Amino acid sequence: MLERTFSIGHVSAVTGCKVETIRFYEGIGLLPAPERTEGNQRRYLAKHVERLRFILHARELGLAVEAIRQLIALSENPLAPCEQVDEIARQQLLAVREKIARLTGLAAELERIVASCDGKRVADCRVIEVLADHSACDHGDGRDKTRS
């Protein structure tokens, strides 16, 4: 009995992944190349769709292509200890927390800049002034350097 196969369009529809992205993942070796028909049309198996969903979920979590490549390689040995997998996840968690801290600082700076603008004329706009002079940014130390 033959396993059911799917066109790239179908795989795209069921995963929400663009056709070009599917081809990209094939091209860089994250997704194995599917068999092709006599007419050279790609025909994917259920295992390809599962792998693509794995890749997409990992990308949603912000994992880099190389980390995903490592995770795929590790997943191919299900009886091995998962220390390396855990370390990849820990490193990504650390990166996400660092990004959150940077974004929180950026949000505070933008709030400060917007609050200091009276909104009357562009010529007197505090937002424009601070964007033109990076030294006018607070940089998180609690001081407004332009008001000293």
As annotated, the residues of the chain forming the CATH 1.10.1660.10 domain(s) are: 8-80
Domain 8-80 in CATH 1.10.1660.10: yes
| DSSP secondary structure letters along the chain | -PPP-B-HHHHHHHHT--HHHHHHHHHTTSSPPPEE-TT--EEB-HHHHHHHHHHHHHHHTT--HHHHHHHHHHHT-TTS-SHHHHHHHHHHHHHHHHHHHHHHHHHHHHHHHHHT---S-GGG-HHHHHHH-GGGS-TTSS--GGG-
pTM tops 0.85, yes or no: no
The predicted-structure confidence for 42-53, as pLDDT tens digits, reads as follows: 999 999 999 999
Place of tokens 């009357």: 120
The predicted-structure confidence for 67-117, as pLDDT tens digits, reads as follows: 999 999 999 999 999 999 999 999 999 999 999 999 999 999 999 888 888
